[in-house]
Amino acid sequence: MNSYESFSDAQLISHIKNGDQGAFTEIYRRFWDKVFAVAYHRLANQAEAEEVVQEVFLSLWKRRSNLQIKYSLRTYLSAATKYQVINKQSRGYFHEAKKKSLEEIAEQGIDTTELWFSERELRQELGKHINELPLKCRLIFKMSREDYKSNAAIAEELNISEKTVEAHITRALKILKGKLGAGLPLILYLLSK
């Protein structure tokens, strides 16, 4: 049996690339508290921070066979944690915006039938513009907004970097914003569904 505690981070990485669960357990034991501290500092919520920790380590395990760490394992995990926190915060922002929009609509006494037709028309227009996006941009955007996949999951599935995924999503949003203009606040609400 290997004594993983004596392994360097580089040795542990080499072992998990070969599917060594003991090495992965040692990385988890060694870095759990550090990843949690970064997540908690940014989220200020223990349950959400713990979810981020699980997502970071799950992603590390899933990506083990093609893992490329340029600096240190600590730096890699810190960056992965920050990306997961950003993903969680952006989902939370859209959820809150949707909830607030619905409350405002109810308070203003807007005719819900008229709103339903407007929303349907806007969804159709949005769908048309999404289908006009460049192929890879459209694919990544749909995976993110329709399949609710994280940037890390999309990157892994398409074998591209998370930065590339973020660039495509940013490009898609910029194109859609340009085409939809004034309808953007309602569109943001629709995109969060």
Spatial contact of 85 and 42, defined as CB atoms under 8 Å apart? yes
Residue 101 lies in a domain: no
75-94: average pLDDT: 75
Residues 86-125: pLDDT tens digits? 777 666 544 554 555 555 555 555 445 554 455 567 677 7
Would you say residue 133 has pLDDT above 70? yes
Would you say residue 191 has pLDDT above 60? no
Mean pLDDT of the chain: 78
> Would you state the torsion angle of the CA atoms of residues 107, 113, 115, 118, taken in this order, to the nearest 10 degrees?
-170
- As a residue count, the chain comes to 193
According to the model, what pLDDT value does residue 94 have? Answer: 46
Asked whether residue 69 falls in the same domain as residue 133, the answer is no
State which H helix or E strand residue 37 sits in. Answer: helix 21-43
Q: What is the CATH number of the domain that holds 135?
A: 1.10.10.10
Residue 37 lies in a domain: yes
Q: Which residue has the higher pLDDT, 27 or 87?
A: 27
Measured at the CA of 183, the angle between CA 181 and CA 185, to 5 degrees, comes to 105
According to the model, what pLDDT value does residue 193 have? Answer: 41
* Tokens read off for 62: 């899933």
Residues 46-74: pLDDT tens digits? 888 888 889 888 888 888 888 788 788 88
Measured at the CA of 154, the angle between CA 165 and CA 35, to 5 degrees, comes to 90
Q: What is the CATH number of the domain that holds 29?
A: 1.10.1740.10
Which pTM value belongs to this model? 0.48
Asked whether residue 7 falls in the same domain as residue 78, the answer is yes
125-137: average pLDDT: 86
Asked whether residue 82 falls in the same domain as residue 10, the answer is yes
**Number of structural domains the chain divides into:** 2
| Domain end position, chosen among 88, 121, 144 | 88
> Would you state the torsion angle of the CA atoms of residues 121, 116, 101, 153, taken in this order, to the nearest 10 degrees?
-60
Asked whether residue 67 falls in the same domain as residue 119, the answer is no
Asked whether residue 3 falls in the same domain as residue 72, the answer is yes
Query: Residue 122 is which amino acid?
Result: L
Query: Residue 14 is which amino acid?
Result: S
| Domain end position, chosen among 45, 73, 88 | 88
Asked whether residue 137 falls in the same domain as residue 179, the answer is yes
Residue 97 lies in a domain: no
Residue 94 lies in a domain: no
Q: How many CA atoms lie within 13 A of 163 on its CB side?
A: 1
Cα–Cα dist 52/82, whole Å: 9
Q: Which residue has the higher pLDDT, 25 or 178?
A: 25
Residue 95 lies in a domain: no
* Tokens read off for 184: 């953007």
Residue 38 lies in a domain: yes
Cα–Cα dist 156/141, whole Å: 15
24-34: average pLDDT: 91
Residues 147-175: pLDDT tens digits? 788 889 999 989 999 999 999 988 888 88
Domain extent, residue 189, equals 111-193
Cα–Cα dist 64/14, whole Å: 9
Spatial contact of 80 and 56, defined as CB atoms under 8 Å apart? yes
Asked whether residue 131 falls in the same domain as residue 59, the answer is no
For 144, list phi and psi in degrees, rounded to 5. Answer: -75, -50
- Quickly list H helices, 70-111: 73-108
According to the model, what pLDDT value does residue 106 have? Answer: 53
Asked whether residue 6 falls in the same domain as residue 54, the answer is yes
